[in-house]
Amino acid sequence: MNSVSHGNTGKFVVTSVSSDAHMWNLVFLQLLLEEHGGQVVNLGACTPDELIISECIRVRPEALVISTVNGHGHIDGLRLIRKIRQNPELAPMRVVIGGKLGIHGSRHGGFGAELVANGYDAAFEADAEFNQFLDYLGLVPSAPKQLPSPKARSI
């Protein structure tokens, strides 16, 4: 996987696949990307393919980030990437997908490779490291925040 750091505009569209109603993962990704300097358009959960495509044409993001929790990411993700790659305006756009790509989580292991073989630039299974994801997007992982030691706290 090559990172997207060349000419990084810092604009990202974050969304889920059309069948995934989970929102917390999208809020987390938005906050994570913003914390590292990204500008994020969050399309929310259960986003229709056509809306994702029209917003990517409008926003022209550095990358489309798709997160899925319901375990159907490999099914909906394949359909979506085929539509994106068929659109001449979006064909060169970076597209990544991650989360629970199958109902058995990362135990299956083949869904990420299948998604990349069908047009995704990268696929991150649910157990992937966030720093790997951030590095791929060309964002510098932040240093862990130091918490005060219990002895240093005032009562």
| pLDDT for residue 103 | 72
pLDDT range class, residue 130, cuts 50, 70, 90: confident
Tens digit of pLDDT for each residue in 81-92? 999 999 999 999
| pLDDT for residue 111 | 85
Q: Token pair 């989580």 is at which residue?
A: 105
Tens digit of pLDDT for each residue in 2-50? 443 334 558 999 999 999 999 999 999 999 999 988 999 999 999 999 9
pTM of the shown model: 0.81
Share of the chain above pLDDT 90, in %: 55
SS3 content of the chain, % helix, strand, coil (to 5): 35, 15, 45
User: Looking at the predicted structure, is the pLDDT value of residue 148 above 60?
Assistant: no
Q: Which distant-in-sequence residues (6+ apart) come within 8 Å of 113 by Cβ?
A: 123
> How many CA atoms does the CB half-sphere of 104 hold within 13 Å?
6
| 69-88: average pLDDT | 92
Would you say how long the chain is, in residues? 155
User: Looking at the predicted structure, is the pLDDT value of residue 66 above 50?
Assistant: yes
